[in-house]
């Protein structure tokens, strides 16, 4: 097919070709008859299936959205970001206010973190790291009292000791291991033996007051 | 001939490490190293209106006055009576017992000192033949540990554990 024939085919499609020229073209290229026939069949089918007379609902809105989409595709990324921010600010003004504060807040958090890292925060006092009560009926509560500068371990759920039971203590100074067979003697400040401590084979302490 | 001697020399410290109680059977004079000195006290926090109070023990009044004041911050409206006290070395690698009373006392296992020179320890709080509570704790000199125990009469029994020494500036 020479360039002139291609030009005549274009004119034929556009409807600018005279009947005589169309006949000449089809005589020269008989395969175009079949192509023309298929094209006409497709046109009839489309017109039959699609009601070209149906109106688009809300045509103005449709056209507006279509034009807007075309403009968006044509505009630069910077322009898109500016337009979206303007839209967000108009819809959520408070949100945009906090959004502007975000960098300042981030700097403040970093400043506090660095301060905690480098400032010598006093961390004194005794403390309880962990507790365990073998009897599940008991509960151990711990806290630190700033006022007393003391650590407190409260054991709740203990049975009350009967008031008539005599609870006594001793005034003892340290014992020294090595006195034999896991038996230790505690002495009073004036060097009198007052308490015997023995650890049995089950690691159970046995205490006995010594009377002299 | 030398092999049994070498094995004996190697095994002896291992056997001692496995069974510390055997080390406590060592002859007198071989005193184990001490990590700290601890003061343990049994205190009765009584109702001030209570009459016929139990007898306390005589002690260093100035030191116990300070502890009483601190106890009052935690257990307000109470009167504090020192029932017993025991000052004890806390031995390195050996269990140590702080026994201000045969009724309520503590077993302490030292875990050494931390970089701030505080004593790391495992503590067991005993009431007669029962372990009431176990705790891992850090003791700083001058900052006591108050263990609130059972109620008795119109008040409560408290075990106080205090690491001896000067409190470090924090």
Note the pLDDT of residue A38.
83
> Is there a contact between A178 and B140 if contact means CB atoms under 8 Å apart?
no
Helices A19-28, A31-49: crossing angle, 10 deg rounding: 120
Indicate the Cα dihedral angle B148, B151, B156, B162, nearest 10°.
-30
Nearest Cα residue to B36 out of B169, B170, B137, B165: B165
Q: In this complex, is the C-beta atom of A138 within 8 Å of any C-beta atom belonging to chain B?
A: yes
Residues A5-48: pLDDT tens digits? 888 888 887 778 888 888 888 888 888 888 878 877 887 887 77
Nearest Cα residue to B105 out of A195, A86, A66: A195
What average pLDDT values come out for chain B (170 residues) when binned by 10 residues? 44 39 43 86 94 82 86 95 94 89 96 91 95 95 96 96 71
Largest CA distance in chain A: 147
A170: chain B residues, CB-CB within 8 Å: 57, 84-86, 99-102
ipTM score assigned to the predicted complex: 0.80
Residue A114, min C-alpha distance to chain B (Å): 20
Q: In this complex, is the C-beta atom of B43 within 8 Å of any C-beta atom belonging to chain A?
A: no
Q: Is residue B143 a contact partner of residue A125, using CB atoms and an 8 Å limit?
A: yes
Closest residue in chain B to residue A203, using alpha carbons only: B21
Closest residue in chain A to residue B145, using alpha carbons only: A151
Between vectors from CA A82 to CA A81 and to CA A86, what angle results, nearest 5°?
115
Q: In this complex, is the C-beta atom of A165 within 8 Å of any C-beta atom belonging to chain B?
A: yes
Q: What is the DSSP code string of A112-173?
A: HHHHHHHS-----S-EEEEEE-SSTT-EEEEEEETTTTEEEEEEESPPPBPTTS-----EEE
Note the pLDDT of residue A199.
87
Scanning chain A, the segments in alpha helix (DSSP H) are: 3-14, 19-28, 31-49, 59-74, 77-91, 93-118
Note the pLDDT of residue A53.
58
Q: In this complex, is the C-beta atom of A205 within 8 Å of any C-beta atom belonging to chain B?
A: yes
- Which residues are bridge partners to A152 per DSSP? A143, B146
> Is there a contact between A178 and B89 if contact means CB atoms under 8 Å apart?
no
Q: With a cut of 60, say whether residue A180 has pLDDT above it.
A: no
Q: Select the residue from A134, A152, A165, A177 to test the B interface by mutation, using most B Cβ atoms within 10 A.
A: A177
Note the pLDDT of residue A91.
67
Q: In this complex, is the C-beta atom of B86 within 8 Å of any C-beta atom belonging to chain A?
A: yes
Indicate the Cα dihedral angle A200, A205, A206, A209, nearest 10°.
140
Report pTM: 0.61
Edge to edge, the sheet with strand B34-46 lists A139-145, A150-156, B145-152, B155-163, B34-46, B79-91, A171-173, A183-187, A193-199, A205-209
> Is there a contact between B140 and A126 if contact means CB atoms under 8 Å apart?
yes
Residue B26 structure tokens: 């060592």
Length of chain B: 170
Helices A93-118, A77-91: crossing angle, 10 deg rounding: 100
Return the SS3 of B169: coil
Residue B153, min C-alpha distance to chain A (Å): 4
Nearest Cα residue to B131 out of A174, A142, A155, A200: A155
Residues A49-93: pLDDT tens digits? 765 556 666 676 777 777 777 877 776 677 767 777 776 676 666
**Host H or E run for residue A142:** strand A139-145
Q: In this complex, is the C-beta atom of A199 within 8 Å of any C-beta atom belonging to chain B?
A: yes
Residues B114-160: pLDDT tens digits? 998 899 999 999 999 999 999 999 999 999 999 999 999 999 999 99
> Is there a contact between A205 and B100 if contact means CB atoms under 8 Å apart?
no
Task: For the beta carbon of residue B67, count every other beta carbon within 10 angstroms.
Answer: 22
- Which residues are bridge partners to B45 per DSSP? B80, B156
> Is there a contact between A135 and B137 if contact means CB atoms under 8 Å apart?
no
Q: Which residue would you say has higher pLDDT here, B162 or A2?
A: B162
Beta strands B95-98; B104-113: pairing state: antiparallel
Spatial neighbors of A124 by CB under 8 A, at least 6 apart, are B140, B143, B167, B168, B170
> Is there a contact between A178 and B144 if contact means CB atoms under 8 Å apart?
no
> Is there a contact between B28 and A178 if contact means CB atoms under 8 Å apart?
yes
- Which residues are bridge partners to B89 per DSSP? B37
């Amino acid at each position: 097919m020479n360039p002139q024939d291609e030009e005549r085919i274009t004119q034929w499609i556009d409807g600018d070709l005279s009947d005589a020229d169309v006949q000449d073209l089809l005589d020269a290229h008989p395969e175009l008859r079949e192509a023309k026939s298929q094209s006409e069949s497709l046109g009839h089918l489309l017109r039959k299936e699609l009601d070209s007379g149906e109106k688009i609902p809300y045509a103005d809105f449709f056209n507006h959205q279509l034009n807007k989409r075309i403009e968006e595709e044509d505009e630069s990324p910077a322009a898109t970001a500016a337009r979206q921010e303007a839209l967000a600010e108009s819809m959520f003004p408070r949100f945009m206010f906090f959004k502007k504060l975000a960098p300042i807040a981030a700097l403040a958090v970093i400043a506090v973190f660095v301060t905690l890292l480098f400032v010598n925060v006093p961390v004194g006092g005794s403390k309880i790291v962990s507790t365990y009560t073998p009897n599940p009926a008991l509960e151990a509560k711990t806290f630190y009292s700033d006022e007393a500068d003391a650590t407190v371990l409260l054991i709740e759920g203990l049975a009350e000791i009967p008031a008539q039971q005599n609870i006594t203590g001793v005034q003892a100074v340290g014992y020294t291991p090595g006195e034999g067979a896991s038996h230790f003697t505690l002495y009073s400040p004036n060097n009198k033996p007052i308490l015997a401590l023995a650890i049995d084979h089950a690691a159970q302490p046995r205490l006995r007051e010594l009377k002299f | 001939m030398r092999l049994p001697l070498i094995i004996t020399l190697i095994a002896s410290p291992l056997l001692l490490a496995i069974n510390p109680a055997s080390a406590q059977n060592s002859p007198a004079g071989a005193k184990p190293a001490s990590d700290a000195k601890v003061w343990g006290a049994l205190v009765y926090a009584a109702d001030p209106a209570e009459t016929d109070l139990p007898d306390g023990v005589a002690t260093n009044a100035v030191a116990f006055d300070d502890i009483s004041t601190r106890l009052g911050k935690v257990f307000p409206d109470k009167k504090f009576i020192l029932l017993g006290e025991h000052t004890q070395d806390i031995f390195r690698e050996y269990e140590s017992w702080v026994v201000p009373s045969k009724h309520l006392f503590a077993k302490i296992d030292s875990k050494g000192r931390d970089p701030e020179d505080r004593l790391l320890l495992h503590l067991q709080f005993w009431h007669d033949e029962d372990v009431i509570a176990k705790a891992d704790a850090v003791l700083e000199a001058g900052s006591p540990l108050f263990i609130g125990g059972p109620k008795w009469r119109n008040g409560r029994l408290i075990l106080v554990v205090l690491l001896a020494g000067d409190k470090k500036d924090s």
